[in-house]
């Protein structure tokens, strides 16, 4: 039995099941509040507290406490000083062969095993592999993650792990350990007990705490107003409210994507904003927009996601096992070989999005409008799935407009206009709190912006210290490994995209056919051997102009929508470690390479059966001297299209931008409008890849010759019949493509880092 005497601020009182004593902080007396242990369980008893003891507004005389379920009581009055009581489960000290209790394990991960170290062992190893001293079956842990040199003092070394090793919240490569130091590897928390790393003997139930979150925009619009929450592991929480109430803003603040201007978020006692790099892998986020490639099957989408998210030392067999686990967990076995976009329902696609996040077994899962657009039956089905995920010892938070399945939630958070928490509590008491009969009346009341008092637990943030707006950027894994995975994924997406494959084949055929409507049979030759005279070059000019415009159109059309339509995928993958560089480069390699082949095919179709350049061109390569600049132009315009796509706000803007890009290339190419020797216009034209592609092709056919055949009269120096000039023209196209790629990388990074 223990007695608590306390007044003023909230006291947090924690007891354990194997003790008959009570640890507490005390101040002035408020009366006798007794802690009684009987039949192996604790109860709190009102022993004469003046004014009584209240739980959720009801006066109590005796209240049983359950391990891992904190209880907040008010002393003296329903709104009096609060006291938080918590019974902690006891974790016995592990012995050789013991398993770590589920309370310290991330959800859906099998327990860790502690192997005995030999008496002569000088190193304790930690990792996913079976040969380690401490084996952690966690997908975020590397096979050989870290090691402790059992010297004096002991030194912890990170073994170049994928997700890093953290000591007391700081990422380290090597650090001396002191007794009580907290070490985090993957989603596992270990403690140095003076002899070895092991799970903490006593661990409170995991808790996500939001403390006074407030956000105000630069133009003084309040988005969040002092929101405070306590979310236990194993709970499902719904956030509802009218449009513009700050639901998504709160979700972004809870996940660390956009930290609140004031306040803090704690996960297991760690500040999320300050330790974001350490904790980001424990957070799963399913945004409202689709984060899947609709062309892929469920199996392929999850397989590529596993390659990007799991440690690089994870074998293909281990990746496949993890994919199979989440497929079975989400009930997608029958759909694993179906195309996501064409063969799955809306609810099934949402489950695939959730499965993607579950690959790393995050103990925190956040979803933004997961049932948006679903019928009532699918709405409840998805919520039931989330209920099951929460019961697997996760914190699951759902932002929703739907109220059809609120009864499955443990608590509901109602936000009003201005981001103020008007209610935090169980769903069965929600309507009574607002004194309404049904949910339509509730939302009508919320839309009218009638002020309501805050529920217990919310706080005023006026005295809270400001939180830095920036968080530690995540460390990116191997860029070469990412590039290989992304290239393979883009190839799979392209092969499965019927519209894209049709464009790849039909565009060169159609555009080459247009070049065949040019009158004449001289082809790309300026010399008529029978008559012994030179032509005026009009036929060659028309053919080259069509080729240049066709190449510019093909390249830009292939990529103008590519990045804007994948923006949601990019942002989510960037948050879990994807580097923008490999992402953009994979698009350049796959789509740019396809456009290069299109350019070669286009030129071959347009020139076959026609005379080639006189004397086979400046290098003697014949039609290749026309094909290479045309193919390089198509590739350069593909890169320009990617850069433009990264800057677009929506895919609806793609077609006007495509038309503008092609028209600019036509005008600045020098084919129909002379640009040589015209100040400013000539310099601007240097930035157009079509200018150099047309010049290289014109140089090969020696288009600058006069009708008399005098070869020293060149109208445009970039078209000089010279091998060096042809090489310069081709290199200029490559340089412009590189410049466009650099600008595209800046735009991709900005797009990845922005939340909306």
Calpha distance 630→622 (Å, rounded): 14
| 8-state DSSP, 575 | H
Residue 67 is predicted with a pLDDT of: 64
Contacts of 450 (CB under 8 A, 6+ apart): none
Mean pLDDT for all residues in the chain: 82
Tell me the C-alpha to C-alpha distance, in Å, between residue 201 and each of 125, 189, 688: 20, 11, 67
Q: Which pLDDT score is estimated for 281?
A: 83
- Mean pLDDT, residues 451-473 taken together: 40
> Contact at 8 Å (CB) between 737 and 689?
yes
CB 84 within 8 A of CB 193: no
Task: Please answer whether residues 361 and 108 qualify as being in contact, where contact means their C-beta atoms are separated by less than 8 angstroms.
Answer: yes
What is the CA 730 to chain-centroid distance, rounded?
A: 38
Of 116-125, 274-283, 394-403, 702-711, least confident by mean pLDDT is 702-711
Sheet strand arrangement including 71-75: 11-16, 82-88, 71-75, 53-55, 58-60
Q: What are phi and psi of 749, to 5 degrees?
A: -60, -45
Contact between residue 396 and residue 221 where contact means Cβ atoms under 8 Å apart: no
Element (H, E) at 528: strand 527-528
Please check whether residue 518 is in contact with residue 546, taking contact to mean a CB–CB distance below 8 angstroms: yes
CA-based angle 567:471:643, to the nearest 5? 30
- The predicted-structure confidence for 68-83, as pLDDT tens digits, reads as follows 567 778 777 777 777 7
Beta strands in 328-403 (DSSP E): 364-368, 395-399
Pick the more confident residue, 150 or 29: 150
Mean pLDDT of 337-351: 90
Q: What is the pLDDT of residue 370?
A: 87
The number of angstroms, rounded, from the C-alpha of 93 to the middle of its chain's C-alpha atoms is 38
Classify residue 338 by burial, with Cβ atoms within 10 Å: 0-12, 13-18, 19+: middle
Q: What is the pLDDT of residues 96-147, one digit of tens each?
A: 444 333 333 343 444 444 454 444 468 899 998 888 888 888 888 999 999 9
**Do residues 468 and 273 lie in contact, with contact meaning Cβ atoms separated by under 8 Å?**
yes
Give CA torsion, residues 493, 494, 497, 503, to 10 deg. Answer: 160
Over the range 502-521, which residues count as b (16 or more CB within 10 Å of their CB) and which as e? ebbeebbeebbeebeebeee
pLDDT single digits (tens) 18-27: 444 343 333 3
Cα–chain center distance at 606: 44
Q: How confident is the model at residue 705 (pLDDT cuts 50, 70, 90)?
A: low
DSSP string, 484-503: HHHHHHHHHHHHH-HHHHHH
Give the pLDDT confidence score for residue 448 in this predicted structure.
73
Between residues 167 and 460, the one the model is more confident about: 167
What is the number of H-type helices and E-type strands within the chain?
A: 21, 32
Most confident of 445-454, 522-531, 669-678: 669-678
User: Which range is most confident: 75-89, 417-431, 573-587, 733-747?
Assistant: 733-747
pLDDT at 68: 57
pLDDT for 624: 94
- Mean pLDDT within 526-538: 64
| Widest pairwise Cα distance in the chain | 122
User: Whole-prediction pTM value?
Assistant: 0.76
The whole-angstrom separation of Cα 107 and Cα 127 is 18
Lowest mean per-residue pLDDT among 97-101, 243-247, 577-581? 97-101
Distances in whole angstroms, Cα of residue 390 to Cα of each of 98, 129, 204, 239, 393: 26, 28, 18, 15, 6
At 272-325, the pLDDT tens digits run 998 887 788 889 999 888 889 999 999 999 999 999 988 888 899 999 999 999
Helix axes 624-647, 593-607, angle to 10 degrees: 140
Res. 467: pLDDT tops 80: no
Cα angle 562, 565, 566; round to 5: 85
Residues 658-685 have a mean pLDDT of: 91
């Amino acid at each position: 039995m223990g007695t608590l005497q306390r007044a003023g601020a909230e006291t947090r009182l924690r007891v354990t099941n194997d003790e008959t004593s009570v640890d507490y902080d005390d101040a002035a007396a408020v009366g006798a509040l007794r802690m009684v242990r009987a039949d192996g369980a604790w109860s709190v008893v009102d022993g004469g507290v003046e004014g009584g003891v209240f739980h959720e507004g009801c006066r109590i005389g005796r209240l049983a406490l359950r391990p891992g379920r904190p209880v907040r009581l008010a002393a003296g009055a329903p709104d009096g000083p609060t006291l938080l009581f918590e019974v902690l489960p006891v974790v016995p000290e592990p012995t050789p062969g013991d398993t770590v209790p589920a309370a310290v394990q991330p959800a859906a991960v099998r327990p860790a095993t502690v192997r005995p170290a030999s008496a002569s062992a000088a190193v304790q190893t930690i990792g996913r592999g079976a040969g380690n001293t401490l084996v952690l079956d966690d997908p975020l842990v590397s096979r050989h993650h870290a090691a402790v040199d059992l010297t004096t003092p002991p030194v912890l070394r990170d073994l170049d792990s994928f997700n890093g090793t953290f000591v007391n919240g700081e990422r380290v490569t090597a650090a001396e350990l002191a007794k009580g130091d907290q070490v985090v590897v993957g989603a596992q928390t270990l403690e140095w007990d003076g002899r070895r790393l092991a799970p903490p003997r006593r661990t409170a139930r995991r808790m996500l705490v939001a403390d006074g979150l407030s956000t105000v925009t630069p133009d003084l619009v309040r988005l969040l107003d002092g929101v405070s929450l306590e979310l236990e592991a194993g709970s499902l929480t719904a956030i509802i409210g009218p449009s513009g109430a700050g639901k998504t803003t709160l979700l972004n603040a809870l996940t660390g994507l956009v930290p609140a201007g004031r306040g803090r978020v704690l996960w297991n006692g760690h500040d999320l904003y300050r330790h974001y790099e350490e904790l980001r892998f424990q957070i799963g986020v399913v945004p409202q927009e689709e984060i899947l490639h609709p062309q892929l099957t469920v199996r392929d989408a999850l397989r590529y996601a596993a390659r990007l998210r799991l440690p690089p030392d994870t074998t293909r067999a281990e990746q496949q096992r993890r994919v199979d686990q989440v497929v079975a967990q989400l009930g997608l076995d029958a759909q694993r070989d179906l195309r996501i976009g064409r063969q799955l329902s809306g609810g099934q696609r949402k489950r695939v999005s959730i499965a993607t996040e579950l690959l790393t077994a995050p103990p925190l899962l956040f979803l933004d409008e997961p049932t948006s657009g679903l019928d009532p039956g699918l709405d409840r089905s998805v919520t039931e799935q989330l209920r099951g995920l929460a019961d697997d010892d996760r914190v699951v938070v759902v932002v929703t407009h739907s109220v059809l399945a609120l009864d499955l939630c443990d608590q509901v958070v109602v936000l009003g206009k201005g981001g103020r928490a008007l209610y935090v509590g169980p769903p069965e008491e929600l309507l009574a709190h607002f004194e309404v009969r049904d949910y339509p009346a509730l939302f009508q009341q919320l839309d009218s912006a009638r002020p309501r008092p805050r529920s217990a637990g919310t706080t005023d943030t006026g005295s809270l210290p400001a939180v830095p707006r920036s968080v530690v950027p995540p460390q990116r894994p191997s860029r070469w490994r990412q590039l290989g995975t992304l290239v393979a994924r883009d190839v799979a997406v392209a092969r499965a995209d019927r519209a894209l494959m049709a464009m790849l084949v039909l565009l060169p055929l159609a555009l080459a056919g247009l070049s065949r409507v040019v009158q004449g049979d001289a082809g790309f030759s300026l010399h008529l051997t029978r008559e012994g005279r030179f032509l005026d070059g009009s036929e060659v000019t028309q053919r080259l102009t069509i080729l240049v415009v066709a190449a510019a159109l093909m390249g830009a059309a292939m990529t103008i929508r590519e990045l804007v339509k994948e923006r949601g995928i990019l942002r989510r993958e960037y948050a879990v470690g994807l580097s923008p560089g490999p992402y953009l480069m994979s698009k350049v390699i796959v789509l740019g390479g396809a456009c290069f082949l299109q350019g070669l095919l286009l030129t071959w179709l347009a020139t076959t059966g026609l005379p080639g350049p006189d004397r086979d061109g400046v290098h003697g390569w014949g039609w290749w001297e026309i094909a290479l600049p045309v193919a390089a132009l198509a590739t350069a315009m593909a890169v320009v299209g990617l850069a433009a796509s990264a800057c677009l706000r929506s895919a609806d803007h793609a077609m006007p931008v495509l038309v503008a890009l092609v028209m600019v290339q036509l005008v600045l190419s020098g084919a129909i409008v002379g640009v040589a020797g015209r100040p400013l216009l000539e310099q601007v034209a240097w930035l157009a890849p079509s200018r150099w592609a047309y010049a290289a092709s014109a140089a090969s056919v020696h288009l600058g010759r006069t009708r008399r055949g005098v070869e020293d009269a060149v109208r445009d120096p970039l078209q000089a019949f010279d091998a060096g000039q042809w090489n310069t023209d081709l290199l200029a196209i490559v340089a412009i493509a590189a410049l466009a790629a650099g600008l595209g990388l800046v735009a991709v990074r900005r797009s990845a880092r922005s939340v909306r």
